[in-house]
Amino acid sequence: MNLASPIRWRDDITSWDGVASGWRVILALQSKALILPTHRASLRSRFCTSRCSPAGGNPGKEFQLSGKFGVSFSLFGDLRFLSHHDMLRLFARSVRRADLPIAHSQGYNPRPKIWLLLPRPLGVSCRDELLILGLPQDYNVQELRARLARVFPVGVTLGNCCKLEKGRSTQPVSAAYTLELSGKDAAKTTGKIPALLDSANLGVRRFSKRKGKFRELNIRPYLSQIYLRNSELGFTLSYSPAGSAKPAEVLGLLDLDNLSNRAKLVRTKVTYSVAQAEQSQVNFDDQEILAKN
């Protein structure tokens, strides 16, 4: 079939085996109404099969989710300036380099089933992050950890690797942050912390991209703890469906929100909740929420 020809019949379907670039041809033909709706679904399924399944066959069987594995890691150095989406791409490439068959979503644009439950603020280092991988088959956790350890880049340190039990949903509940202050900043912060704890309303202005304007928020319900020990500032933020606070907003209340302090901020610990018969707050290291192989 010559695409340059000005005359086409609606039932004149291009042979899929001879198509070199499926996306370009499908979009071109659909824009000219040359393919019937019943044929579009057929071409879409054949395109996804050839793209997602390295050995051919049905991607729904080869890439069906079998189990979720949790991988804890820490991140320091220049990699802390990667965005949330860049981190997902980094781990997706690491999984491919480790030769692990990751599960994919089904549909027109399959995506690997990789989750970072709590997006990390840009420039913030972390010691206790949780990466969840959806794999189409069971793996020994020691083998899985060994494969990932060989391909993780410098700046990412691999921690525990465990299989998560089926039927349980893991959600972040709180996160702890620490910041090493200079002597001058520590001196001016000492008197401000009691005032923050005694206040019932800690108002901040947050820009809403959806509404295109600033709005006033009270972040006091989300500030669980704040302290100053010597020159170390520490605070804990809680997360709920109602909302949360940002670390930069807490630093702004203390007049510490600048690029230098943001680059030194460390997220030290994240606590997760597991949805089951009885809700409980657990740590990722707590083996009670993990299935033992």
pLDDT in tens, the chain (293 residues): 444 444 444 344 444 344 444 444 445 544 444 444 444 444 444 433 333 444 333 444 445 566 889 999 999 999 999 999 999 999 999 999 999 888 888 888 888 899 999 999 999 999 989 999 998 888 889 999 999 999 999 999 999 898 888 777 888 999 999 999 998 999 989 889 998 999 999 999 998 888 888 889 999 999 999 999 989 999 999 998 888 999 999 999 999 988 889 899 999 999 988 754 333 334 444 433 333 33
**What is the predicted pLDDT for the residue at 179?**
95
10 Å CB burial of residue 235 (0-12, 13-18, 19+) is buried
Residue 68 near residue 164, CB atoms below 8 Å: yes
Picking from 51, 22, 269, 80, the residue whose alpha carbon sits closest to that of residue 159 is: 269
**What is the predicted pLDDT for the residue at 13?**
41
Residue 34 near residue 8, CB atoms below 8 Å: yes
**What is the predicted pLDDT for the residue at 252?**
93
**What is the predicted pLDDT for the residue at 275?**
59
| Residue-level length of the chain | 293
Strands 125-135 and 266-275: parallel
Amino acid at 141: V
Residue 232 to residue 206: CA distance in whole angstroms: 27
- From the centroid of its chain, how far is CA 14? 39
Residue 138 near residue 67, CB atoms below 8 Å: yes
